[in-house]
Each structure stands twice: as structure tokens, then as C-alpha cells.
Structure 1
Amino acid sequence: MYSNKYTNGHRSTETVIDLRSDAVSQPTEQMRRAMANAEVGDDVFGEDPTVQKLERQCAELFGKEAALFVSSGTMGHLISIMVHCNQRGCEVIVGGSSHVYLYEQGGAATIAGVSLDIIPNNEDGTYSLDEFRSKIRGSDEIHEPTTTMAVVENTHNISGGKVVPLEWIDKLASICKSEGIKLHMDGSRVFHAAKYLNVPVSRIARDFDSLTFCLTKVCAPIGSVLLGSKDFIRQARRIRKALGGGMRQVGVLAAAGLVALREVVPKLGDDHRHTKQIAQAIYDSKSPFITVEINKVQTNICMIHLLKSEKYSAKYFVERLQKITPEELSEGITDKSGNGVVIKVCARDEWNCIRYVVYHHIDDESTELAIKKIKYCIAELN
């Protein structure tokens, strides 16, 4: 986020550009106004008109029968697992670097009592369909769990925001249908996938029994939407309540989601453009220590790769981007007001990989500032 810091009403000498995640974005002014003026009711009783409007719009947009507002993507995934895997001894197949497997505290096992079996993800976010077939286990074998569900993540975070190919999804969906396996999509950033492919999100969602997308990835402050059939959503609503997700006048949050669909989603191409501009600047630096795979940058996520060195590491570079030195100020690494520039990014590991993510508030000016600061810090290493 591009912003000046204020302390006791006085502007400090830092301009912060936060590229750690698109979920750090602030709600837009239009969202704040919509939230303040939202018509609300009790959503637990199904009486919040703003939530109803959001759910209707999402169901229509994705080509599904019904939708449900949930507090997070993690909750949406867990609910989906609990609906689809409603008997003891169920198993879900997921990618080995998927969010469901890595970053949801093993909720499938600890809360739903469902085991996860993993297949290593390929570079493009897919996994081997031959291995998928070989992992399917049926209820006829009393020693084994029953494969009940499979999960696809699109776009794929750890793969660097890669868009999962539609052809691969079609093949996986065909296998799942023939084997009676439910198919769920972690579509946290599915709108980015649709923008990249230049297809409606309904095409990507077509063969999934359920999916989630995150409103927080498109500037809304809270919330995700879970989609599926009417019967699936009926069961999901009941489980949402058990998980503590039955909120009351939640239309104040749904209102921001409606603005996101109307005003932020159509501009995701700008995020992709800014992501590529920063990546191109890193690539053009021709540093022996830092690079990006420029031809593989597709959406709003980019992975920066560092060669392992005793002197330089991902952790070091992350910390350096957050510092402002007198030397860089004298070299003009500042904004138009003379403020120093702080860049926040995430080290994916201690040594070799850094992730940055671009979102709605990263405009042309903040992109230029980010490039200026990153290029300066790379030159220091060289």
C-alpha cells in the first residue's frame, strides 16, 4: 500500500509500499461509504438483504445455484471438506504445496476428521493425473480410507501466481466424475486467473462441485464466498454456524464485497501489468545474485530468486528493503516529497526466495517507487 506515515499528526520521512500480500490492501473509499450505508438484517436468520444480494450476484457470476458468505477462505475450504466428506474414513487428495495442506493448521484432520493425501505440485500448479488415478482408494478395501474429494488451487500461490491450465482441469474433472469424487477449488485469486485467460470465471468454475474465492484479495476488508449447488450450500450454512461463522448484521461487510466485484475486479489487469513491470526491472538488472523468471510471471504474484550466499540471503534482502540509508536519500531514492521509501515483501524461506504481491492500491507512481528502491538495493549487492 502506498502511504505516508503519520505520528501525532506530523508526517514522518517514510513512504511505505507493502507488497507482502494482496490481503494487506485497505478498503477503498467507495467500500467505506457502502459499508457505512449498508442495509442490514440478521444473516443467521437469512434476513440480511445486502448479504443476499452479494450471494445472488456471485452465484450468477460463477454459474452456480447458490452461494454463502463466510469469514475466510480457510473456513470455506473446511466447510467444503465437511460437507463432501460426511462419513468416517474419508480422504482428500491435494497438492503438496497447496494452501489447504500447508497453511490451514491441518483443520481437515483436527476438526473434520478427514485425512489428506498429497501429490507434489508441478511448476504450473497442476499435479500428475497418473499419480492422482493411482491414489484413488475405494470403500471396498476395509484397510484404506475412501477417496472422496480432490482440491485444486487457482491461481497457485507457491507456484508464483500461476494460472492452472483449463485443459488439465477438464481432464481432472472427468476423472473425478467417473470415480464419484467431489472436486473443490481454492479459488482465492480465481478472478486473476480469469483475467489472465480472458474467460469468465464461470468457465473456470464449470466442473467444480464447490469453490471459494476471497473478497480480501480484491480489497474488501473481510470475507470469502463459498459456491455450489443449493443442497451443498444448505448443508454448508449449517456447518458454518457450528464453526462460529454465523454472523449477524454482516451486510456491512458484504457491501464492501459488492463494491469489489463492481469496481476492483475489472481493474485486475493493472495489477498484472505492475507486477510484470517490477519483475522486468529486476530481470533487467542482470544481477548475479537476484533474478526472476520473467517469462513465467502471469498474474499479481512474483517470486524473486536469490543465489545462496554466505553474505546475501532472502532474509537479508527483505530487511534491507525496509531500511532507509543516508546514501540512498542522497541518491534520490525518495518520493516527490523527499520521503524515503520502505518496501515490505515476504521471504518464503531464509535464503533463496522472496515473494511480492501487487494489488489495487499499487498504482503507477508506487510501482515506479518500488522499482527505484529495489534496483538501488540490487545494485548494492552487485
Structure 2
Amino acid sequence: MSGDASHRPLDLRSDTVTRPDETMRAAMAAAEVGDDILDGDPTVRALEEKAAEILGTEATLWVPSGTMGNLIALTVHLRPGDRFLAPALAHVVEFELGGWASFAGGVPHALPWSAGPGRVSPASVRASVPPSQPYDALRDRLLCLENTHNAAGGTVTGPGEHRAVTATAKEAGLLVHLDGARIWNAAVSLDVQPAELTWGVDSVLACLSKGLCAPMGSVLGGSAEFVRAARRLRKMVGGAVRQGGVMAAAGLVALSRIELLRNDHSNARVLASGLRDLGWEAASPETNIVLARVTDAERRVSELHRMGILATTISGAVRFVTHADLSEKDIQEVIWRISSMSP
């Protein structure tokens, strides 16, 4: 490969850096729109109906971001002082600025990864919710799951495991919210329909602006009653928009491309294998996130940046995320550039 290629940045910081292609831009330009606050936007409505069908929920609500969707869900479900359970290093707890405290008034409790990286077991849920507590104890109200689990390296929870954990939570009297920001990746990895991963949940958040390449937007699903409450909160936090069909059109195109995530997963495996061949400690990924364990992740990311490879750090590891804007040739270029570094 040419050394000149090292001057072209290759961005693996996240699958949020993807850009809409010409097909998606054309759909946005041609979208039928209306005032979604006053009388509804037809394209937003079409997206919400399609997303509900795919996710297996009664209804969904378009929101500008996944963080807003999670915030709305927790605020609907929690009352001030309620405790909610979540896997350790859950995105909703660690990377969303504590909105659960300032808006919902919730108190998080981390569950260990007792069923594997990023995954919790029915036993750990059961052990965290005593059958009876004194009146002055925190009230356990909600279990927040995450599929795929970002900080664990895009790990997936399968349908059977999801059902077991969700059923246990229900038996303990808990509501269940699923942060499915990358649920599409989980479904593709497992060769199942997304609805198989939402069984029993009271709400689910799914992003359109990551691997599916929409410029912005997520959908928040649940019962019709839940979505009515969520719609009011969306307005409260400034998430209601007027002619939202421009963005919803991109979301509809995104939902037609879920299967293309297989390419990202394949490229992630190629990258992890190449890193291992170079002496790096990198487990084979389940989806599109590769974590490489190094002694000084911050220094290593700086070195990568100087050679035109953009990455991030998480939990003491270097994180690479493959996405639609990177081809297999780009991934081979990343490996070639890294080959000049010491492991």
C-alpha cells in the first residue's frame, strides 16, 4: 500500500460519524412533511409505524437522539427516589450526564456482568431485589438492559437469555427498559428479528443515526399509553420538531438497510484478527466494536491519531468502531499503518 494513504484520516471513533449517501439525501429532499406538533407529519408517522412493526411494540415515537429517548423513558418509569438496576458500565448510567438524577430523580445500582461481558443473569437480578424491605429503603422500580452493550465491546444478549432476565425482573415487580441503541446490530449478529429481542419490555430505545447512517434520530417504543406519556415529555425537553419528515425520511431509508450491518461486523472481525497478528490483545468482536487492551490507551490513541487513524478509549482499552463509511480495503489500510507500531 502507498505511504501517501497514511495522510487520509480513517475514522473509527464511532459509527455515529457515518454520513447519508445520495439515496438517503434524495429521500430527505423529497419527503412529504407537515407540522408534527400541530397535526402530525406524515413521514414521521410512517417511520413510527414501521419502527413499531420491526421492534414488535404497539407504538413508537421519533426523538432527536438516543440520549433523549433514554431520558424520557426513565422519566416516565421512575419517581424521585426510585432505584433502577443496570449492567455495570451501562451507557445510560455512565455516558448520559446523569439525566436520570436531574429529571427522573432515579438512583442507579450496577449489576455485575454475571452472564458474560455486558450481560446480567436472572440470579443477579433476583438477588438485587429483596422480597421485602423496610419503608425507608429505596424502592426498586426498573431494570435497564443494554443490547448491544457498548462498553463491553458491542456484546449481544440472545433471545432466550433476554426472556429469562426480563421474566425474572417482572416476577420481582420491576419495569424493564431496553437501551437498544444498537439493537439492529444485535439482531443481525444473532440472525433474529429485532422483535425477538424486545420480548416483555415496557420500553425500548433504538438509534437510527449509528450504523444505519441517518444524520440524526432514534425511536422510542412501547405501549400506546407509554408513547402518549413519552410524547408529552419530548415536548417538555424540547425534542418536538415541526417538519420532522425531513429526518424521518432518512430513518425510513435506514430501516431498509439493517442487513448491511453484516459488512460492518465482518470488517470488525478482520480488524481484530489483524491486530492480534500484530501482537495486540483484541478479542474477536460479536458486532462492530473492537476493544484492544493496552497498557496506556490514551497514549496509544494519540499515536494512532498521528498516523491518521481516529479511535477512542473506553475502560482502559482502545476502541475501534467499524461502519458503512469504511470499506474492507480501508480496514486493511488501518492494519497496514498499525503494523509500524509496537504492540
Q: TM-score, normalised by structure 1?
A: 0.84
Question: C-alpha root-mean-square deviation of aligned residues, in Å?
Answer: 1.9
Counterpart of 2:300, as a letter, is F
Deviations 1:217-242 (A, max 9, x none): 11111111000010110111011111
Deviations 1:81-108 (A, max 9, x none): 11122x4432211112100110111111
Give secondary structure in 1 for the equivalent of 2:209.
helix
2:309 corresponding residue in structure 1:
343
Matches within 5 A, 1:173-252: 173-217=166-210, 218-252=212-246
1:314 corresponding residue in structure 2:
297
Unaligned runs of 5+ in 2: none
1:279 corresponding residue in structure 2:
272
2:290 corresponds to 1:361:
no
2:135 corresponds to 1:147:
no
Matches within 5 A, 1:113-124: 113-122=105-114, 123-124=116-117
Counterpart of 1:346, as a letter, is T
How big is the shift at 1:208? 1.2
1:339 corresponding residue in structure 2:
none
Give secondary structure in 1 for the equivalent of 2:264.
helix
2:148 corresponds to 1:165:
no
How big is the shift at 1:46? 4.3
2:306 corresponding residue in structure 1:
323
Q: Determine the C-alpha separation between the residues in 1 that align with 2:187 and 2:332.
A: 26
In structure 1, which of residues 81, 96, 109 is the aligned counterpart of residue 101 of structure 2?
Answer: 109
Counterpart of 2:21, as a letter, is T
How big is the shift at 1:135? 2.1
1:328 corresponding residue in structure 2:
none
Q: Aligned in 2, Cα 1:156/1:12: closer, same or farther, shift over 3 Å? A: closer
Counterpart of 1:224, as a letter, is S
Q: Determine the C-alpha separation between the residues in 2 that align with 1:128 and 1:180.
A: 17
2:85 corresponds to 1:93:
yes
In the alignment, is the contact (CA less than 8 A) between 1:38 and 1:252 conserved in 2? yes
2:9 corresponds to 1:26:
no
Matches within 5 A, 1:251-290: 251-262=245-256, 264-285=257-278, 287=279, 290=280
How big is the shift at 1:141? 3.0
Q: Determine the C-alpha separation between the residues in 2 that align with 1:265 and 1:374.
A: 30
2:26 corresponds to 1:67:
no
1:127 corresponding residue in structure 2:
120
In the alignment, is the contact (CA less than 8 A) between 1:137 and 1:145 conserved in 2? no
2:287 corresponding residue in structure 1:
299
Q: Determine the C-alpha separation between the residues in 2 that align with 1:275 and 1:102.
A: 24
Give secondary structure in 1 for the equivalent of 2:37.
helix
Give secondary structure in 2 for the equivalent of 1:168.
helix
Q: Determine the C-alpha separation between the residues in 2 that align with 1:171 and 1:374.
A: 42
Q: TM-score, normalised by structure 2?
A: 0.93
Unaligned runs of 5+ in 1: 1-10, 325-341
Give secondary structure in 1 for the equivalent of 2:145.
strand
